Amino acid sequence: MKKIYAILFMFTLTASALSAQVKTSTSPLLAKGPEITFESLVIDYGTIEHNADGYREFKFTNTGSEDLLISTCTGSCGCTVPECPKEVIAPGKAGTIKVKYATNRVGAFTKNVTVNSNATNGTVTLTIKGNVLPDPQ
């Protein structure tokens, strides 16, 4: 009888230890390394006037446990010019990637910005889209 109680006790102890490990390892606060999390991966300019303000910002946070460093931000064409922060983003801190679209180009557009960093979630692709109305002249 003592053996049965000892076995049940060991089984219960092992099960609770495994349960605690699963809960701990899936906690987002324990992610190792930097991680870049954007508020949105897409910015929709909507329908805008010819030569309207083409500047927009993608906001992000370093949700990882180490410093984040963005190495490059590249637009998919010359009409999309991103500007990424050069400073290190500490864990829990936020930053922005500014993007300027050349609104002198008429018509619908969908363009990408590729963000490379030391983040554990790898390369991120951001998208801008919208429609530029013709010049009313």
Residues 60 and 85 grouped into a single domain: yes
Residues 123 and 66 grouped into a single domain: yes
CA nearest neighbour of 36 among 11, 56, 15, 65: 65
Residues 53 and 83 grouped into a single domain: yes
Predicted local distance difference test score (pLDDT) of residue 136: 80
Give the domain extent around 2.
1-28
* φ, ψ at 39 (rounded to 5°): -65, -40
Residues 53 and 116 grouped into a single domain: yes
Residues 94 and 111 grouped into a single domain: yes
Count of structural domains, the chain: 2
pLDDT in tens, the chain (137 residues): 656 555 545 555 455 544 443 333 344 454 589 999 999 999 999 999 999 999 999 999 999 999 999 999 999 999 999 999 999 999 999 999 999 999 999 999 999 999 999 999 989 999 999 999 998 87
Cβ burial of 69 (10 Å; 0-12, 13-18, 19+) is middle
3-state secondary structure 54-96: CEEEEEEEECCCCCECEEEEEECCCCEEEECCCCCECCCCEEE
Beta strand pairing status for 80-83 and 94-101?
antiparallel
Residues 116 and 84 grouped into a single domain: yes
- Is 67 among the domain residues? yes
- Is 137 among the domain residues? no
